[in-house]
Structure 1
Amino acid sequence: MSDAATSERRRARLASVPAVERVMSMHAVQALTQAYGRTQAVEAVRVSLDALRAELLADVDADVAASAGGDADASEAATRYDAQIVARASALLEQRARGHLRTVFNLTGTVLHTNLGRALLPDEAVRSVIDVLTRPANLEFDLATGARGDRDDLIEDLICELTGAEAATVVNNNAAAVLLTLSALASKKEVVVSRGELVEIGGAFRIPDIMARAGARLREVGTTNRTHAKDYEEAINARTALLMKVHCSNYAISGFTKSVEIDELAQIAHHHALPVAFDLGSGTLIDLAQWGLPAEPTVRGTVDAGADLVTFSGDKLLGGPQAGLIVGREALIRKIRKHPLKRALRVGKLTLAALEPVLRLYRAPEFLAQRLTTLRLLTRPATDMHAAALRVQPSLQHALGERYAVTVEPMFSQIGSGALPVDQLPSYGVALRVATARRGGRALVHLEKGLRELPRPVLGRIADDTLRLDLRCLEAGDEAAFIAQCAELRL
């Protein structure tokens, strides 16, 4: 084909593309305008038209009918492209309207999943958040006196009631709680910590790094696996600001080990007129062993053992929103509150609105396993997940066809990547394998991608040539939605 003929064909193809205003006058596009507004609809149509032009120019021989260049042919081609343009514009508008923060089906088997938002809030907390989202609230207003109040006053008494501490304050996460504590009490001074407790938490944040940012000087004592009381004693000097203990909730060292418990460490600190701080991390308020879960040190038990300050998370074992709680002696909490970083790290009304109802649930521990979402998920009997797997399996098998085998199998769930990651809970789910090959390979990766691309993404885990969907976190309210969505799976 000559250059002139090619140019003529390109002109003919471009002539077949409808004008923006003609597309905007279509009934289907007018419906999009009503739903998304004219500004967004026009932009989506323009993008769709540009994409169509690029496709036509990229392959001038694809459509012979559009190459003649006559008015009738151009009109016919334009009509043929209408549906494609409308569909593309509609999809673009729908994609833009969809938020980046989306709900997913957490079938990974990890209940407190750091990347998926950790603890799910109970209904009481959700209703409280909605109330303060839609109405003014007394965030910093004392209703009794009519004067300005402190937002910590809204929950301090409740926290102290549940933990036995003299005072409490709240910041936006536990790393912030540790940072603020060290900045307020140990800036330009030494903090004594066992080498075996210099942990790294999610996102590569490390205790030594937090100390450095707080202006405190780390004084390591002991070894990775063994630290003795004399190690702390020998490290204390005139520059020591406090002793610190870190609960290693996200890893475990076994074998030839030794650590100094908080009661003994408190005696050492108090003998030298120093405070001792305990970063408890996962921060449970109750003894989990009563539900058959691994025992964890409680905040009250830590305070009773002599800790002057305890920091812990709100969105792990406590089962509330993301927050960092600092509890302990009133004089130390007062000093922490006065530090300039406190304002920068303070929580907003949504966190407080969610945290208070969660804390109130702990006043009735006999109902906690039913009302606190995190505890309910952790204590679900394996028989519940087994029954759910039997209901889910047929729909998933039908959606995947003969290429994949879908079987109901026992599994092990995990409490959380930042809270007791090595402890496993008996569970059930569905196992997806390639039926026609010994190894899943790319086919399983492709399947996992297809599940992630569903309207409500489904997240599982691949191991041993198997894609496992653990159903511990698929409760009755979501099970029907999951089954219905299986029909939309495209591979």
Structure 2
Amino acid sequence: MNLKVDESMVHGSKALLQQLPSIDRIMQWPAAQALVAAHGHTLVAGEARALVAARREAARAGTLAATALQPEALAADLRQRCGQRLAPRLKPVLNLTGTVIHTNLGRSVLADEALAHILRTMAGTNNLEFDLDSGGRGDRDTLVEDLLCEITGAEAATVVNNNAGAVLLTIAALAHGREAIVSRGELVEIGGAFRMPDVMASAGARMVEVGTTNRTHPADYQQAFNERTALVMKVHTSNYAVQGFTSSVDEAVLAPLCRARGVPLATDLGSGSLIDLAAYGLPREPLPQEMLRAGCDVVTFSGDKLLGGPQAGLIVGSKAAVGRIRKYPMKRALRMSKLPLAALEATLMLYLQPERLVRDLPTLRHLTRSQAQILVMAEALKPVLARALAPRFEVGCVALSSQIGSGSLPVDRLPSAGLAIGLPGSGDKGGPAKGVGTALDELARALRGLPLPVVGRIAHDRLLLDLRCLDDAEPLAAQLPALREALGMGPLNT
């Protein structure tokens, strides 16, 4: 009996295999020719070969339906394969996670001025390293150095491709082959296993630890100084906090000790705030201009966190220290390319008009939105989303707590609001409804699978959509019919 079934399957597979059209035949179809006109022969022929190979495997496995060999079905699949092959992997998403500066979602959103400047300058050739006044070779640092010096009060400035690179370059240029002093309480690790001890080693400096995890005093630094000391490194611990019996030595106290011994003092601020956030009701972060006034020779910080620009490592400080850093051979390997430089220049320009920052800088605009403003948007979206997800899910407006950043100020919270999606009756009896986890996972996947992916978070048996970073509700509302279809819930009645 089983043998007859197997023989039947074999004969069926052979019959289907014989019906498979050749690649040449497929490429002559009008639908394939239209694809060739749009994308070229190489791509379409490659996808046609992959399509036929997939059909052949399905036939041999006995899972291929005869209808899948119809020219219309093959042409439709070929069109879909070409589209998928050309679809970018990097795509815009709606960040409804509640984390404003989200490391995994690209950190800061660029301002319109930055995007426009990129388009203007990248559409053709530009003066990246050309001095228009002299007609000779220029230095790409000059595109932003004056701006950085004006905003921070530094004597000199240079930029590299990220802040990890800025710290690495600073230590290598100032302390390679010699000793660099750092407090044990500042031996941080940030995302991607970026550890200060490893950075010191990579830069060729011998790290000298002083103090203890929770307490470091001026005398600890003084006792560590010797003829091999080349640098004192301070690290702002913005991504964690040690509480209780603690003490540390700030830059204003440490600077005179370093100056008396001719040792440069560098501090890494990481988060890169150029304005006093406390003026906007946000947690205060130390500013580069304050560190320079306190006597630091070098200050490093990020461009794509609180500054609100592209990924960059910014280095400001004295002419002597920045000059050594700029001339160090590693600098070329870490230099910024023209695209982020254009975005950085335009972003820094916004800081020359501080009264407009809340309006023009997306990061600051999102951070300063009031809970009441966000709640208005949530209340407007609630009935639209509820109708799209009924009767399978229930939707409600809720107060939420947003996070400033996953790597910058991860502990601080901002009062926010959004939408909570759950199963009907979920939690009525004091516990989660049956299948709630599976249902919410399916909903989260469907949201992420939309043409403009929507990323929220699941907590307490609900899928939460924090609207703090949603400037316009229309892109979300316009996708609700597609969301309902992705969930297999039928068309959305209008």
- Into which bin does the TM-score normalised by the smaller protein fall? over 0.9
Distance apart, 1:4 and its partner CA: 6.0
Counterpart of 1:468, as a letter, is L
Q: Is the 8 A contact 1:221 1:232 kept in 2?
A: yes
| 1:221–1:4 CA distance, 2 compared to 1 (3 A) | closer
Distance apart, 1:308 and its partner CA: 0.9
Equivalent position to 1:484, from 473, 478, 482: 478
Matched, 1:428 2:422: no
In 2, Cα distance between equivalents of 1:21 and 1:375: 57
Runs (4+) off by over 4 Å:
2-7
Query: Which structure 2 segments of 5+ residues have no match?
Result: 427-431, 488-494
In 1, Cα distance between equivalents of 2:82 and 2:9: 34
Matched, 1:319 2:308: yes
Matched, 1:52 2:55: yes
Distance apart, 1:15 and its partner CA: 2.6
Higher mean C-alpha deviation, range 307-316 or range 45-54: 45-54
Counterpart of 2:455, as a letter, is L
Equivalent position to 1:141, from 120, 124, 130: 130
1:207 corresponds to: 196
In 1, Cα distance between equivalents of 2:337 and 2:9: 63
Query: Which structure 1 segments of 5+ residues have no match?
Result: 67-76
In 1, Cα distance between equivalents of 2:8 and 2:335: 69
Counterpart of 1:386, as a letter, is L
Q: Is the 8 A contact 1:45 1:86 kept in 2?
A: no
In 1, Cα distance between equivalents of 2:227 and 2:344: 40
In 1, Cα distance between equivalents of 2:7 and 2:347: 75
| 1:9–1:348 CA distance, 2 compared to 1 (3 A) | closer
Matches within 5 A, 1:90-169: 90-169=79-158
Distance apart, 1:430 and its partner CA: 0.9
In 1, Cα distance between equivalents of 2:230 and 2:245: 30
Matches within 5 A, 1:7-22: 7-22=10-25
> Does the residue aligned with 2:141 lie in a helix, a strand or coil?
helix
> Does the residue aligned with 1:177 lie in a helix, a strand or coil?
helix
| 1:198–1:105 CA distance, 2 compared to 1 (3 A) | same
Matched, 1:42 2:45: yes
| 1:394–1:242 CA distance, 2 compared to 1 (3 A) | same
1:408 corresponds to: 397
TM-score by length of 1: 0.92
Matches within 5 A, 1:350-369: 350-369=339-358
Q: Is the 8 A contact 1:403 1:436 kept in 2?
A: no
Distance apart, 1:283 and its partner CA: 1.6
Distance apart, 1:366 and its partner CA: 1.1
Q: Which deviations, in whole Å up to 9, do the C-alpha atoms of 1:404-423 show, x marking residues without a partner? A: 22211111111111211111
In 1, Cα distance between equivalents of 2:84 and 2:171: 45
Q: Is the 8 A contact 2:13 2:62 kept in 1?
A: no
Distance apart, 1:36 and its partner CA: 2.2
Distance apart, 1:7 and its partner CA: 4.2
1:70 corresponds to: none
Distance apart, 1:353 and its partner CA: 0.9
Equivalent position to 1:250, from 239, 242, 245: 239
Matched, 1:471 2:460: no
Q: Is the 8 A contact 1:17 1:81 kept in 2?
A: no
Q: Is the 8 A contact 1:221 1:227 kept in 2?
A: yes
Q: Is the 8 A contact 2:187 2:197 kept in 1?
A: yes
In 1, Cα distance between equivalents of 2:208 and 2:353: 42
Counterpart of 1:46, as a letter, is R
In 2, Cα distance between equivalents of 1:39 and 1:23: 14
1:218 corresponds to: 207
What RMSD over aligned residues (CA atoms) do the two structures have, in Å?
1.8
> Does the residue aligned with 1:169 lie in a helix, a strand or coil?
strand
TM-score by length of 2: 0.92
Distance apart, 1:86 and its partner CA: 2.1
Matches within 5 A, 1:364-403: 364-403=353-392
In 1, Cα distance between equivalents of 2:86 and 2:360: 34
Q: Is the 8 A contact 2:175 2:231 kept in 1?
A: yes
In 2, Cα distance between equivalents of 1:87 and 1:397: 34
Instruction: Count how many residue pairs are aligned between Structure 1 and Structure 2.
Output: 475
Counterpart of 2:440, as a letter, is L
Q: Which deviations, in whole Å up to 9, do the C-alpha atoms of 1:434-480 show, x marking residues without a partner? A: 2265253222222212211111211111222221111111112xx21
| 1:167–1:154 CA distance, 2 compared to 1 (3 A) | same
> Does the residue aligned with 2:238 lie in a helix, a strand or coil?
coil
In 2, Cα distance between equivalents of 1:12 and 1:356: 65
Matched, 1:269 2:258: yes
Equivalent position to 1:195, from 166, 174, 184: 184
In 2, Cα distance between equivalents of 1:157 and 1:44: 51
In 2, Cα distance between equivalents of 1:93 and 1:304: 58
Matched, 1:456 2:452: yes
Counterpart of 2:138, as a letter, is G
> Does the residue aligned with 1:402 lie in a helix, a strand or coil?
coil
Counterpart of 2:55, as a letter, is L
Q: Is the 8 A contact 2:9 2:62 kept in 1?
A: no
